Each structure stands twice: as C-alpha cells, then as structure tokens.
Structure 1
Amino acid sequence: MVSDPIQTQDGIILLKRISSIKISEKISASQILISVAEDAGNEEIQLRKNKADSIYNLLLHGASFEELTNQFSELRSSIENNGLIDNLELGKYDPVFEKNILSLQKDNDISPVFQTSFGFHIVKRISALPIEENFQFVETEIREKIMQDDRKQIAADFFERKAIEIGKAKGLNTEEKDFMFNNLSLLNPAYQDQIKEFQEGNLLFEIMDRQLWSKANSNLSGLKILYNQHPEKYRWNNPVKALIITASQKEIAETIRNEYLKNNSIDHIKKYYTELALIDSGRFEAQELIGVGANNARAGFVSEIAYNESDGSANFIIITEKNPPLLRKSFDEAKSTLINDQQALMEKLWMADLKKKYPVTINKATWNSLLNEVH
C-alpha cells in the first residue's frame, strides 16, 4: 500500500510500508558497550568478550552499574548520563539489542553479555511506560522536530541581528580591560614580583636540568661504573616478588581478590581482569608493601584490601616468591638509586668547580660591623 503524495520542504514524497512492529511500551535503559572493530581477529574478539564477562561478573557481585558505565563503557556519547538511552523507540535498533532489552521483565534487571555488530553489550532496564502513557511525549517530539527545521533559522537570524544592534547601541568598549590585562605586571607590583619569581625559578630549573638531571639520566656508562664500583651498596634487604592489583572501586578489587582465592591462578587474573585493574608486578621490599610487612613475606600470601578514601580506589597484594635477604639488585632495579647518587656526585663536583671559577670573598670589616649591629 502506497500513501497519498505528501508535500515537504524537500519536495513531494510517497511512502510505502515494508514492515511493521507492534510496540506496547516505551523503554528507558542504560548500557555498557565494549566495542569491537570491524576488522578485529578472533583473538581480539575473545579479549573484548573476556572484558565484558568480567564487568558482568562485577555487577553480579554488587558493583554499581553507573560507575562501571562511566569507567568502562566505550559508547562515549552516553557516558555523561550513565549510559542512559531515554525513551527508546523499538524498531530503530539492532534486533538482537531490542530482543535483550525486551527480555528484561522488571526495572533494574540486567541482561547477560550479548553481542551485536557493534560489540558486546550489557543492558540495564530503568523504566518502561505503557504506550497509552506515551501520548504526553508526542507534543514535545513534534516541537523538537520543528525546532530542527530550517525555518527556525529565520527567527534565530532575526534575534541575532537585534543582539548585534543592541550591543553597538550600548557602545561596549573593551579597550580598557585589554590594556589592564596586557599591562598587569606594570600596574600591580605584587603580580610583577610573582612573575619574576616564576621566571627565575624556571631559569634555575633549566640550569639544573642541563648540568645535572639530564646528564645523570643519559650517562648510562657512568651509572654502570658506579654500580660495579659499589657491589655491596645496591642490595635488597628483605625482597619478595609480588603483584600489586589496583582497581578504581573497592567492589572491583574485592571481586578480583575473591576470584584469586577461589582459583589460586595468576594467569586467570591476568586473562580476565587486566583491562579492569592495574596489575603491577616486580620485586619489592616486603616491609614497604602496605598490608604485608616482614612477617608475611612468604609466597602465596594475599593481603587484605587497602582502600584509598581520596579517590575511591582500592588495592591488594599477592606475594608470588620470597627471595633471599641481601640479594644484590640488578642494574635496572638499582637504576633510580644510581641516578640519585650520580646526580649528588655531579652536583658536588659542579659546586666545587663554580667556587673555584667564581671565588667569593667577604669584606671582614663590613661583616664585623654587621655583627656588632645585630648584637
């Protein structure tokens, strides 16, 4: 069946119905999307699915859907409103996507992970209104469509011209403001002193960087000489190999910790949670690890979760290996300490050279007179 001709601003159109869908309600939902590139291989697709499965597992353990949306969803356009798709009109989206939304029977129900051509989705139902209650939205939608029409620009242009005329009529002048802004250092001595302090501080920083910091960092041969000259200095006291697992939310850290305690598998943690948490591995001093200490420096120890109130993050530590005491650090492990020692040595030599090149003499008579005035 074809409609009668319809006149629009773009011309005359005819409409033919190809298919129809019965809509019984209008749904609002939120989603977390882990996108998959069109040219992604099987390995990449599996990694993306693992990430989505891990997020779903966090939700099952009580993590906030909204917080996980803000942190992990890759649908950037909807992150500002917690992934909300408001008043979703069925029939306009991927059939698999709509099928999973319709399967949610109650508000706050969450779907399992499902895949579409865009990637892997997790959807949470927010609300559903029967179709008879949706007539109140019609007027608003029509108004929005009219406002998007080109004819709206006529009114916008009119008001813009009026605004320009009013601005000119009032004679707005910004020359005085520009002058004050461009000459603030001349008009405000305190500001001028602060600028001078910044400039001199930057100059000192540049000199120190050129003479010491950059040279010490780049002098690899000098660092190795220093390392070999002091074999007893660069050693561990009570070393352990460990994983430090840091998550943005306490619930995520708790889920990962529980998974490790259940599976006792580092590989499992790295496979499923690498994209949800920062996993830092290395050798550390046991007494410097929060929640470990010298008494717990043994392979297999798992610390309690440490919570950071300032940013809401949380972490825990897994000891994977206990090393013998006084183990010599490798060159890479000792490098930061070597750089500090190298800088201190270079600064000492540099200051001695400066004192020799620019000797400082004190007028003793003047110095003694100043002391007498003080006392």
Structure 2
Amino acid sequence: MKISRLLIFVFLIAPYFLLAQTKEILFSIDNHPYYTDEFIRVYNKNLDLVKDDSQKDLEKYLDLFVGYKLKVEKANKLGLQNGTNYQNELKSYRNQLSKNYLNDSKVTNELVREAYDRMQQEVRASHILVLVDEGASAEDTLKAYNKIIDIKRRLDAGEDFVKVAQQFSEDPSVKENNGDLGYFSAFRMVYPFENAAYKTNVGQASKPFRTRFGYHIVKVVDKRVNRGEVSVAHIMILKQGEAAQQEKALATINDIYKKIQQGESFESLAQQFSEDKSSAPKGGVLQRFGSGQLSSEEFENVAFDLKTPNQISAPFESQFGWHIVKLIEKHPVRSYDEMKAELEDKIKRDERSLLITNSLAKKVRSKYSFTKDAKLIAKIKGTVNDEFYSQTWVVPEKAKELNGVVLTINKDKKVTGAIFLDFIASKQKSNIKTKPVSKLVDELFEKFVDEQMIAYYNDNLENEFPEFKNVMDEYRDGLLLFDLMEKEIWNRAKNDTIGLNDFFKNNIKNYQWKKRYSVDILSSTDVKVIEKAQKFLKKGKSLEYIKEQLNKDGKINVMSKSGMYEEDYDVLPQFNGLSKGVTSIVSKDKYYFVVNVTDEKPAGAKELSECKGKVISDYQQYLENHWVDELKKEFTININKEVFSKVKNQLNN
C-alpha cells in the first residue's frame, strides 16, 4: 500500500547527525561509490528507532542499506530524477528547508521578543506629519525636514500640540481627529512609527523621525495594559439625516432592547432588524478585534467593558448609528510560546523583515568576495532614463557590450549585465524616486549585489552546512524511492490481476475465515434490562421494538449491534456452544450481554473479494522482497570487507 514519502524507509526518519571520523569507500554499485560516513551516520541516527533488533546487526543493516541504495540506483537508471513532478517537489522542499538558513536567527528572535513585549501594552498617540516621498529629491527632502524641525521648535517652546497639528500637519485626517490616532499595539503602525511611540514617554513628544510617508512627530497621550481581543455580536440602526428620522431610529433601537429584556433571541432580532447588512445574516456576529482596529472608539470601549459571555449592553450611539452589543468571548494576549510562530510570520511581512535581510546581506558580504565592472555599470547607466519613474522604461536591445560580466562572486559565479538590466526593469513598480538616474542605478546595484550574494549563499548551503546536505540527500533519495515503488511495486500489485490471483491461490492458507455467526448483540449495564431484552428476543420482537420499550424518558438502557462476526469477536467467546437462537446472559466489564444467533457459517477459505486489500498489501510486500534479489542481479555490487571490518570495530566500540 502507499505510504508517506518521508516514511518510505527507516533511513529517512528525523535528522540526527553523527559523522564518521574517516571517509572511505564502503561499497560501490556499478562503480558508484558509497562512503563509510553516510553509513555510520544513518546507522547511528536510527539505532534507537528500529524496533527489530535484527536490524541493529551490522551485517544485516549493511544488507538493508545496500538494498536501499540499489533501489535509488534503479530509479536513476530509469530516469525518474528527470521527472517534472519530482523536480518541482524537490525544489519546493529545498525552498522550505533553506528558509531556516536564509534567516538571521539572532535578529529574528530579538524582533519577535520585542514585538511580544510591546503587545503587552497599548499606546494612545497623536502625530504631526510632513509629507515627503521616500525617493524625493534632496531639495524636497530638505524642505520637508526643515519644516518638521520648525514644528518641533514650536512644540518645545510650549505651543499646544493639537493647535500645531491643526495648523501644520499634512495628514488629511487631522481635520477630523486633530492628529489623534487612538490606541494601538505592535504591527498596527509602520515599524519606525511604532518604535517612536513605544520609546516615547507619556505626555512627551518624540524627536522628528521619518517613515515611507514622510517626517513625523508623535506625542504619546497614554499607555495601558493590552486589552487583547474580543468577539461580539451587535444590532445596529443607522443614523439618518433629519432629526425626525434620528428620533425614529433611536426609538427602534430602544424597542429592540426591550424585546431582548423580555427574553427574545438577540440573534433573531439582529437578523430581522440590524441594518449592518454584513453581520445581520449571522446573528450580528462580527470578526474578533482589538483596540484601534475599528473606526469607532465608542464601540470598542463598550465591547471591552462587557465582563461575562452573553452579557448585553444598553443601547449606545456611535458616529455610525445606535448599537446594542452582546459579548461572545474575550481573548487575552496569548503566551510567548503560543504566539512565537505567528509573530515570526508577521515579521516576515512587515518592514522589520528588512532588518533581517540587511543583516543576512551584511553577513554574506563579509563571507564572500566580489568584484564589479565599473565601466560596464557606467554603460548601463547610460541606457536608463527618466522613463523609469513613470514605469515605462524598457530594457534596451541586449547589445553585446552590455552583456558582459558585471558582477563576480567568490571568483566562480559570473553575473551578466543583462541580468542587472532586467533587475532594474523589475524595480520600476517599487516607485523608487531617487534622482538623478546615475544615483538611482548605483542604489539599485547595491541591492542587486545583496540579492545575488544571498542567492549564491543559498545555492551553496550544501557546501556550507553538512546537515543541510544530508537532509537534502535523504529527501532526494526518498522522493525517487517513492516514485520507483509506485511504478515497480504498488501499481503492479494493483493492476497485475493474474499475478494477484496466483499469489492468492498459492497463499490461500493465510486467508481463512474462522467459524462465523450472524448475530444481534444486545448490551446493558442493568441486568434486569437485559433480562427483559432476552424475553423480547425469545418472543421474536425486533430490535426497534425492544429499544422502544426499554429506552424511555431520554435514557438509553440498552444498545445493540448486528452483523456477521467470527467466533472470537468481542464478547462472543463468552458464550459456550453458540448455535441458532437466543443465548443465555453473560457479563463482561460491568456490562450484561445477550445474543440472538440468526445464522452460522463454517470455517473456510475466503473469496478474493472478501480480503482483496490485505492480499494486495501482502503481494506488494512479496514483490518488494524478491525485487531486491532481482536488483542484485541487475547491478554489480562490490563491498570492501576490510573497510567494513573497520566500521564494525568503530561502531561496536
């Protein structure tokens, strides 16, 4: 039968690495050498995992290992390693495995801990924004910087933050909120803004800082313990324009509240009357939320003020209308261990990820050498123009002089100018504004170097980390072996009708029925109930009738099961000399049983249709056992007995 690719062979279970002190050729298959270090590593890795002590015998283990490698050789001989599905799956697995190595774990762990610590608090802050693009010209950047510095001077001189925000902030929402952003926690704001908010004391304004939106000053109004998240349902009546309509809406929400107090279903009333069309069909249920995630602070505060599940608020007003809220569940901030994986994932999608990438880039730049062709870069600069900024620039025809080697990494990886040109083109959608074009190309080349260096590092993980190479080798062999087994064994066992029938007939002794009985088995914990059931059976009453008579007032006093069972099934051995008719009563494990035998069949051979799954499984095992013998004839195997003797001494000592 088919099994998971990773469980095909005991050699492929959970990595544990113990390398041999020496590396010699242990055996070869058609002149393909296999070395002692792999054999010793695999043996030690699986020593405590194999259940069959015979497999710990080194002679037998070597035979198993050779058989395993014979199958891999056969797979390669058939060209299975060239299959598209195989290549894609191997690539996918490598990509997943390499993520652990393309990550500065120290920086990542620091960011995860920082984010979790910040999530224990919620910050309420106001800000002033002076807009300026990330790639703005030096002139525009300086103009924005001077403006934010002037604003900071005003604040330091004692001017009111709200008034200054109303006068100078370029955040469009300032007219409505006076720069007040409400409460928020980690990951709710861009990372530089979050940093400033958490590092500034309550009542103070930060120094000017820059995000991708421009320059900011943030004033921290309050900090409080994180309230976590909450799940609620609500009923909403929308605000209307005229006073009379608003009075009608208020009267409606009050009437609904009275109905709830009278005991009517909140969910039913939400479905009938709530004017929030997205939640009404679900009984008013909203997605769980935390502070700062909704547009209404009033709504959030009422929701979080509810204390116990199913508690319902009185009607209240928000900027959108009138609401009644029902608490479903409160979700406190989870533990660090519970959130660690989720926070790592958030960090990968957040601006924080740049810190990790930059750290890795710095690491590989110090690890590998690289050279660049300044003359070729200068020529490439000449092909890039201002169309880049409007995302209409097109890579020029690959002139021969532009397709030379622009970057060499570690003397063995050559990267052409054509690849750099394609990289430049791909960055147009990034909306980079750096000017002039020559400065833009220099900036992009540095990013290009980082990308290529990290790619080179990724390509060489097998050389850098022996454990990575070992896992990849095992997975590569495992995939091949799975495809080979499917082709040579599993599909053959299922589709070879003649071979399957012959195997079944030749091994019919393994597929025998014991004596069988067609029975109704009734059970109860009450002996008086089972006695009544026995009387009903003797009178020929049906199981339905018996249950109807004995299971009353919502209490189940008797259970039954029916079928054709072998003589040693479950409780049947408790009855002496089973025969047609109703048995006596027996007890087992605090239960009382009575059986009605309606038919019996003698012991005998099974039909293939009655045990086909088991026969196919056995036939597969038969084919596999004989298959290795066939492979030993197909390939030439040479085992170095002297080297194996040294391996045995090493492992036994």
Give the shorter-chain TM-score range.
Answer: 0.3 to 0.5
TM-score norm. by structure 1 comes to: 0.40
